[in-house]
A = this chain, B = another copy of it.
Amino acid sequence: MAKLDPILDFHFAALGDSTRREILSRLARGSATVSELAATHDMALPSFMGHLKKLEEAGLIVSRKEGRVRICTLAPDAFVPAQDWLSAQRDLWNGRLDRLDDYVTNLMKERNS
């Protein structure tokens, strides 16, 4: 878990902004050029490029230059580390509820015996 921590810091921080989440949602549907991505956001291009940079630094997207255009693609398994961490917490939480359930069941058995 500790080994993955810096990745999770970057991933979750990158996900904590609605513009960046919209970019990821768009790219989950397929690759797009920077111009295509920027067209749906009412934002100065340098600010928009800053969001793309943050996503690329986090390893959530990759980009390549083709002639004069830059094409962005969702990184393979981009959401796996975040999903794995969240699932692990839910398992811990559910395990706790199961243990509580067992405890109450045993308590009631003892009372009725």
Binding site for B on A (CB under 8 A): 5, 8-18, 21, 24-25, 28-30, 74, 79, 82-83, 85-90, 92-93, 95-96
**B residues near A89, Cβ cutoff 8 Å:** 24-25, 28, 79
The one of B18, B24, B88, B93 in contact with A5, judged by C-beta atoms closer than 8 angstroms, is B18
**B residues near A9, Cβ cutoff 8 Å:** 16-18
Q: Is the interface of A mostly helix, strand, loop or mixed?
A: helix
Q: With A and B bound together, what is the CA distance between A90 and B74 in angstroms?
A: 11
**B residues near A87, Cβ cutoff 8 Å:** 83
**B residues near A16, Cβ cutoff 8 Å:** 8-16
Of residues A8, A12, A74, A79, which shows the largest number of chain B Cβ atoms within 10 Å of its Cβ? A12
